[in-house]
Amino acid sequence: MLTATAALVAGGIVSSGEAQAVTCYDGATPFTKLDHERNFPPDNRAWITATSRCSDLNIKVTNSGAYVKWCWQTGYAQWDCADTWKWAPKNTWKVLATNVKDGTNMKIQFKDIDGVYKGYLAK
């Protein structure tokens, strides 16, 4: 995939930013936020870890739009979260955070705790 993407960029078919997004989204992992839970993952023993695949944290909610924000680990079982909620429209990639350091432990917080949300994370 990387070779094909590089060839497309070199040939001018897509921009390097689009190519980076394609590579990032190709590595997306599925998530399910459970009913009556505020965060994904839901407890203090689990988190999402930023990788070198993407420089940003991206979310795509596939069953409904949702207000979300990202939270990051500041210490053992301690988290800080973004100040504002971002609207993630159904079936659309939304950037929650940019220039996230590789290895950063994160969670996604949902404004609506009721209901199940499903989709993909690219990190």
Q: What's the CA gap between 22 and 19, in Å, rounded? A: 5
Instruction: Kindly state the average pLDDT of the residues 64-88.
Output: 93
44 or 41: which leads in pLDDT: 41
pLDDT at residue 112, as a whole number: 93
pLDDT higher than 80, residue 119: yes
Q: What average pLDDT does the chain have?
A: 84
Report d(CA 1, CA 114) in Å as an integer.
39
Say what the pLDDT of residue 13 is: 46
CA-to-CA distance for 33 and 108, rounded, in angstroms? 9
User: Taking the CB of residue 39, how many other CB atoms lie within 10 A of it?
Assistant: 19
% residues pLDDT > 90 (the chain): 63
Q: Residue 14 CB: number of other CB atoms within 10 A? A: 14
Residues 6+ apart with CB under 8 A from 22: 5, 14
* Three-point CA angle 5, 9, 14, nearest 5°: 95
For the chain, give the number of residues.
123
Higher pLDDT, 38 or 3: 38
Please provide the distance, in angstroms rounded to a whole number, between the alpha carbons at the two ends of the chain: 18
